[in-house]
């Protein structure tokens, strides 16, 4: 069975940030990743942005005011990835029509 996107994101977070004391399955999908949640910071966000681009082919815009919203939780990241991948797929389909 294919790994769910949310589970992939949790694994990427743990692996990319070398969170040795955190098991991917212990991360609450809806919990905040920054501040009171996992306690990530802006440097972590940059590392994750690069990892998500490498794994999923998606990226955020540097000064997009929605970046904070995208990186709020695993759930919001999964929605961001799905939306970006669908948009890319649609633009490729439109280009080949």
Closest CA to 52 of 33, 36, 39: 33
18 contact partners, CB below 8 Å, separation of at least 6: none
Confidence (pTM): 0.88
pLDDT at res. 1 = 41
CB-side exposure of 61: number of CA atoms within 13 Å? Answer: 5
Tell the CATH superfamily of the 5-96 domain.
ACP-like (1.10.1200.10)
Residue ranges, the chain, pLDDT below 70: 1-2, 94-97
Partner residues linked to 34 by β-bridges: 40
Neighbours of 31 (CB within 10 A): 13
């Amino acid at each position: 069975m294919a790994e769910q996107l949310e589970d992939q994101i949790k694994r990427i977070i743990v692996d990319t940030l070398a969170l040795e004391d955190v098991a991917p399955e212990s991360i609450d999908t809806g919990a905040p990743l920054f501040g009171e949640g996992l306690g990530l910071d802006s440097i972590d966000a940059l590392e994750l942005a690069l990892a998500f681009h490498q794994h999923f082919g998606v990226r955020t815009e540097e000064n997009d005011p929605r970046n904070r919203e995208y990186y709020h939780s695993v759930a919001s990241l999964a929605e961001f990835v799905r939306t970006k991948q669908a948009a890319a797929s649609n633009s490729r389909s439109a280009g080949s029509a």
